[in-house]
Copies of this chain bind each other. A is one copy, B any other.
Amino acid sequence: MSGTREAIAEAARRLFAERGYDRTTIRAVAEGAGVDQALVVHFFGSKQQLFVSVVELPYEPEAVLPELLGGDTETLGVRVARFLVETLESGQGRSRVTGLVRAAASEPEAARMVRELVTSRIFAPLTEALGVPDAAFRAALIGSQVVGLTMTRYIVGVEPLASIDPEAVVAAIAPTLQRYLLGPLG
C-alpha cells in the first residue's frame, strides 16, 4: 500500500513541476499513478494538502547547516551554491523545488512555504549563525538569486543558462551568494 502512496506522490510531484499548481488536477494525478481518484483523496486529502506533502524537500534543511558552516567562511558562497545547484540537478530535488517555485507564483500556500524556507528554515538560520548585521535582509537576497535561478534555468528556460554545465552555474553565482552572506551590501 505504501507503494501506491509513493506512486501517487511521484505522479503529483511530476505534474506540479511540469504544469504548475493550477493546471494539476486530482484526476490527472490519479490517472498518472494508475489509481482511482478516491485513493488520492484517501491518502492525501485536498489538492492543496497533496501539494504540501509532495513538494517537501527530500531532507531537513536544518540538517545541512552544520555541513555548510563547517568550512572556511571565504568559500562559504561556493559551498552554498554547490549545495543548491546539486539539489536542483537531482531528480528528487528538482521536481520538488521547481514545483514549489512555480506554484508560489499563484498559490498562497506555496508562497508561504517559500517565505518560510527563506526566513526560517534555510537562509536566515545560515546568516544568523554567521552573526552578520542585516541577517534577515541577506537571507532574502540569497532567496532572490536562488528563486531567480530556479525560474530562469529550470522553469522558463533562458538560454544559455538553461543548458550550461552545472559547475559553470556554481562558479557564476557563488560570488553573489558570498557577498549576500558576508560582504558589504552597499
Contact = CB atoms under 8 A, between A and B. Distances in A.
Candidate in A19, A152, A173, A180 with the most chain B CB atoms within 10 angstroms: A152
Nearest to A141: B172
B20 A145 contact: no
Contact of A153 (B19, B144, B160): B144
A136 B152 CA distance: 13
Nearest to A136: B160
A180 B171 CA distance: 12
A171 B118 CA distance: 21
Q: What is the count of identical protomers in the complex?
A: 2
A50 interface: no
A36 interface: no
A16 B115 CA distance: 22
B174 A104 contact: no
A156 interface: yes
